[in-house]
Every structure is written in structure tokens, then in C-alpha cells.
Amino acid sequence: MGIFDFLKREKKERYIYSTGDLLVFYVQCDKCQELLRVIVRKHSELYRTYSKGPAEYEIQKEIVGAKCQNKINVHFDLKPNYAEVSHEITGGKLLTQTEYNNLITDNK
């Protein structure tokens, strides 16, 4: 096993993407497998944690897709630069941008 295998394993997947005033993440509904692109406005949907930990901001979102009534609850803790500290999700699973794009293409 080389050094690159080690680096690969240590690398954390990225599930939240910052673009201008928005943050974007991707989820798949557990119930109907619907793919959802979720947008978070930095100015109105991001909350300061005021905690002593590494997290500066948090997001709490409830998402309901178009295809079923299943509620997907997502919570992110973010650093000051919007990098992810941790996340929790119920009712669905988080996808990376690449996974989402691959699945969307497959479904077309």
C-alpha cells in the first residue's frame, strides 16, 4: 500500500458547495429515490452556532420532494469558510456533486 492509498482513505467526501451567496447540497430520498438539489441562502438560512467548537455556522433544513411526502431532515455544521465540520441526515442520504450528476444522467 502506497502513500496515495493512505491519502485517498483520509480524504473526506465533500457534501456542501459554496457558490456566491448560496450553498448547495444534494440528497436522495430514502423512500422514492428522488434526486434533489437543495439551495441554502447564506444570508437568511445560515445560523451562527456561538459554540466553542470548530463550527461557526449551522444549517437545519427540512426537505420534501415532488414525488412523495417523505420528510428529509438535514443538519450541517460549517466552518467560517463554509467547509463541513459534520452533518446529520434522516429520511434520505447525501450525495456528492459527482454522484448526483452521475445519477441524474443515468435517470434521463
CB of 68 to Zn ion, least distance (A): 4
CB of 45 to Zn ion, least distance (A): 21
Tell me the CA distances in angstroms from 88 to 2, 48, 85, 103, one per residue in order.
32, 17, 11, 22
Q: 31 vs 87, which CB is nearer to Zn ion? A: 31
Q: 22 vs 32, which CB is nearer to Zn ion? A: 32
Nearest to 39 by CA among 56, 27, 57: 27
Calpha distance 16→99 (Å, rounded): 13
Residues in touch with Zn ion (CB under 5 A): 29, 31-32, 34, 65, 67-68, 70
Nearest to 67 by CA among 92, 32, 91: 32
CB of 64 to Zn ion, least distance (A): 8
Q: 22 vs 68, which CB is nearer to Zn ion? A: 68
